């Protein structure tokens, strides 16, 4: 696990350098010196692998998982990649995947419009909201707009396209025949997620009635109305379809007969005197006006987009056949992704050739190394159907977290109730990207660049 900040980059080496698997390589937008850090990581990857990686895995389209492929582009260009594995949700020939991608792009455009709209309001409150929203969108690229518009260079889409171009991608489907790493005997890789059920893809957060994780529950959404209202703000009412106009109308707190437009209010003495229409933004009563506050909903929509993309994470269980030990890499898989694994099973030969049935519960039971999802957030590790099924006495956890950076972003990572459960399940065998690590089978890299953990047969 590389320790470069709040982001994922994992290099799995099989045997005595028989093969290498690189899973993601990125750091969150806004990280100081991000380019230099990622070039240092990339150079170490190149040196450790001799410039040859057998499998490159891109778990999902987020900056903190893919940015390094652009930031250290010139170094990664010197590495040979034999295979690329991506989730089926990235397959350009899959109709459902194309629909998901189209919706994601629509949401991104709407959020950019919201930032633009907030900037046009002119108040300090609106400006602060725009800056916060721009910061929230750091999973699409660097804050300040580097990842918020142009295709290619500074975007997650550009990074994913680079990854997909290293070799003909294999788009992984949950439950497919276990994958093999060429040149390595005794290893099977099971694809757990992303789910193919649209309802589970949308199930990002714990349910209110029966929470599946270690805290917090799912809020509601005004997604459709926000899309339409933002388009109206930027393009005018005439540009909206009848369906969009109806969606806006249904979201408003008052019926049309009780509504007063801003233009009407400016001509009425009461509103000029008491709501700041007389002197514009400088009027001491202007703070009462809330006609632009709805744009603040964009923050919730940005977080929803973040979660929806997380739930498309490619989740893999790497089985060492001889011992049955499993290494679990879940990307940022959230609730619905985890729940979908319960239905999966595979028929595989054991060591003497007998065909046996393997379930996701079996794989979790035998997990000895868990790459903790989404930097230890509250909704990326299931409780009863996740961590509590990991009963191996050898269980260790790797958490790619930078708590200081998470606090700066106002994210509670690692989530305390989850972290306490991890400490109990692993007997304290937790390796963090933001802390020194020591212990049996643990080695720190030079300058704390990475931490090595050896899983023996």
Cα separation, 140 vs 297, whole angstroms: 18
Residue-level pLDDT at 210: 60
pLDDT digits over 147-199, tens only? 333 333 478 989 999 999 999 999 999 999 999 999 898 999 999 999 999 88
Which pLDDT band, with edges at 50, 70 and 90, does 264 fall under? confident
pLDDT recorded at residue 144: 45
Among the listed ranges 186-190, 302-306, 404-408, 411-415, which one has the minimum average pLDDT value? 302-306
**374 or 143, greater pLDDT:** 374
Label residue 102 by pLDDT band (50, 70, 90): confident
pLDDT recorded at residue 358: 97
Q: Which residues fall within 8 angstroms of residue 455, CB to CB, at 6 or more apart? A: 320, 325, 327, 368, 369, 441
- As a whole number, mean pLDDT of residues 329-353 equals 92
391-399 mean pLDDT: 97
pLDDT for residue 84: 98
| Strand pairing category for 80-87 and 52-58 | parallel
| Highest-scoring range by mean pLDDT, 135-144, 165-174, 342-351 | 165-174
Residue 350 banded pLDDT, cuts 50, 70, 90: confident
The pLDDT, as a whole number, for residue 267 is: 83
Per-residue confidence (pLDDT) for residue 147, from 0 to 100: 38
Residue 384 has pLDDT above 60, yes or no: yes
Any idea where the domains of the chain sit in the sequence? 98-151+219-305
Per-residue confidence band for 288, with pLDDT thresholds at 50, 70 and 90: confident
> Among 227, 231, 229, 209, which Cα is nearest to 218's?
209
Question: pTM of the predicted model, to two decimals?
Answer: 0.82
Counting Cα atoms < 13 Å in the Cβ hemisphere of 428 gives: 4
**Of 166-175, 239-248, 288-297, 410-419, where does the model show the most confidence?**
166-175
Asked if residue 179 lies in contact with residue 189, where contact means CB atoms within 8 angstroms, the answer is: yes
Q: Strands 19-23, 10-14: parallel, antiparallel or unpaired by DSSP?
A: antiparallel
What is the predicted pLDDT for the residue at 281?
A: 58
- Condensed to tens digits (0 to 9), the pLDDT of residues 61-84 reads 999 999 999 999 999 999 999 999
- The pLDDT score that the predictor gives to residue 409 is 85
Distance CA 118, CA 418 (A): 36
- pLDDT by residue (tens digit) across 214-240? 655 444 445 555 655 665 565 555 666
What values do phi and psi take at 33, rounded to 5?
65, 30
Mean pLDDT over 442-454 rounds to: 96
| pLDDT value, residue 439 | 86
- C-alpha radius of gyration, the chain, whole number: 24
279 versus 108: the higher-pLDDT residue is: 108
* Residue 250: band (very low, low, confident or very high) from pLDDT cuts 50, 70, 90: low
Q: What percent of the chain has pLDDT over 70?
A: 77
Peptide linkage before 393 cis (omega within 30 of 0): no
The Cα 21–Cα 40 span in angstroms is 18
């Amino acid at each position: 696990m590389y320790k470069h900040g709040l982001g994922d980059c994992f290099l799995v080496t099989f045997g005595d350098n028989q093969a290498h698997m690189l899973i993601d390589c990125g750091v969150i937008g806004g990280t100081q010196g991000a380019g230099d850090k990622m070039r240092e990581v990339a150079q170490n990857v190149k040196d450790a692998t001799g410039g040859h990686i057998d499998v490159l895995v891109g778990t999902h389209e987020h900056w903190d998982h893919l940015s390094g492929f652009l930031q250290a582009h010139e170094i990664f260009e010197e590495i040979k990649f034999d295979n690329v594995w991506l989730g089926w949700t990235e397959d350009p020939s899959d109709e459902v995947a194309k629909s998901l991608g189209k919706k994601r792009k629509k949401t991104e455009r709407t959020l950019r419009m919201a930032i633009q709209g907030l900037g046009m309001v002119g108040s300090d409150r609106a400006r602060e909201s725009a800056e916060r929203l721009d910061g929230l969108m750091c999973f699409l690229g660097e804050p300040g707009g580097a990842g918020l518009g142009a295709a290619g260079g500074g975007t997650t889409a550009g990074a994913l396209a680079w990854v997909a171009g290293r070799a003909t991608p294999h788009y992984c489907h949950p439950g497919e025949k276990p994958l093999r790493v060429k040149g390595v005997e005794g290893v099977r890789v099971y694809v757990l997620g992303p789910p193919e059920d649209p309802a589970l893809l949308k199930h990002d957060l714990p349910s209110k009635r029966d929470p599946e994780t270690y805290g917090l529950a799912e809020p509601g959404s005004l997604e459709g109305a926000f899309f339409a209202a933002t388009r109206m703000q930027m393009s005018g009412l005439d540009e909206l379809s009848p369906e969009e106009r109806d969606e806006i109308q249904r979201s408003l707190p008052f019926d049309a007969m009780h509504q007063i437009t801003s233009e009407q209010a400016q001509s009425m003495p009461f509103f000029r005197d008491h709501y700041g229409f007389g002197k514009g933004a400088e009027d001491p009563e202007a703070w009462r006006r809330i006609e632009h506050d709805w744009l603040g909903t964009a923050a919730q929509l940005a977080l929803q987009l973040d979660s929806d993309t997380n739930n498309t994470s490619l989740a893999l269980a790497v089985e060492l056949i001889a011992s049955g030990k499993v290494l679990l890499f879940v990307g940022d898989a959230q609730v619905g992704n985890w729940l979908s694994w319960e239905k999966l099973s595979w028929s595989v030969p054991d060591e003497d050739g007998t065909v046996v049935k393997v379930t996701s519960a079996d794989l979790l039971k035998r997990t000895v190394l868990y790459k903790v999802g989404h930097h230890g957030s509250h909704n990326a590790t299931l409780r009863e159907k996740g961590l509590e099924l990991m009963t191996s006495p050898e269980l260790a956890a790797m958490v790619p977290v930078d708590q200081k950076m998470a606090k700066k972003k106002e994210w509670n990572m690692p989530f305390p109730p989850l972290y306490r459960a991890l400490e109990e399940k692993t007997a304290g065998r937790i390796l963090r990207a933001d802390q020194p690590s020591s212990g049996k089978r643990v080695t720190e890299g030079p300058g704390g660049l990475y931490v090595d953990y050896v899983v023996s047969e």
